[in-house]
Amino acid sequence: MKKILFVAVLFIVTIHTKAQELAGTTIGFSFGPSFLTTKPSDYSLDPGSNNLITQKLSNKNLVISSVVTIKFAKLSQEIKNENGSTRKRLVMSDVPDDKDKAQKKNAPFTSRLAFNLAINLADISSDNLAFNKSVDGGIGFGYIITPTMQFAVFYDIIRIRQMRDNIIETYEGKPIPKGAEFYNALDISDNNLYYNKTFSGISFKIVVALNPKKD
């Protein structure tokens, strides 16, 4: 809950940022729906018989991730006063004209594209995070809307603890042997029963930059 509140505060602060220039590489966070290509399963034991029960879970989730963004063009936000009204536009900076004078032009679609690398916040806060350790996240491309915000699509890879296939095939609907007895409770950290299964999917997120340059 504290993590969600912290992210919400950062979002509110960021969207109120005024005229800014995007750095070549920015860091931030993203949030949005994720859709896995296959559904993970949940496992339990029947209270009366201790028979193994499996149940499919939803493949739709809300994901919050940290993001590193690499821009393909130098962009900034220009504020103009026209007839007493203020107008903002995203522009390409220092574009030479026919007379070699620097000017700013409206940023075309291709210049608004950016590359994103996302790492799920749950992995960042993990106590056992180590170098060369696999983490959940994704890669994708975004469309820059404002200096602090973009819409992005990611290809995600996440790991979910699932019961081993041979256990399910052999004991689904039956008690699972444990020596001379049977399991009367399941522990997701038990590597004899569970392993980290990799799932892939697509997510659609709003990406908010936390370190754009101020003009």
Does pLDDT of 129 surpass 50? no
Burial 61-73 (b: 16+ CB within 10 A, else e): bebbbbbebebeb
Closest Cα to residue 78, out of 40, 39, 105, 59?
Answer: 105
The torsion angle over the Cα atoms of residues 109, 114, 115 and 118, rounded to 10 degrees, is: -120
**Rounded CA separation 112/77 (Å):** 12
The pLDDT value given to residue 138: 93
Closest Cα to residue 44, out of 125, 158, 163?
Answer: 163
The residue among 175 and 94 whose pLDDT is bigger is 175
Closest Cα to residue 207, out of 61, 70, 75, 3?
Answer: 70
Task: Determine if the pTM surpasses 0.75.
Answer: no
CB neighbourhood size of 5 (10 A): 9
The pLDDT value given to residue 86: 62
Calculate mean pLDDT across residues 23-34: 87
**Rounded CA separation 16/212 (Å):** 13
Tens of pLDDT, residue by residue over 191-213, are 999 999 999 999 999 999 886 65
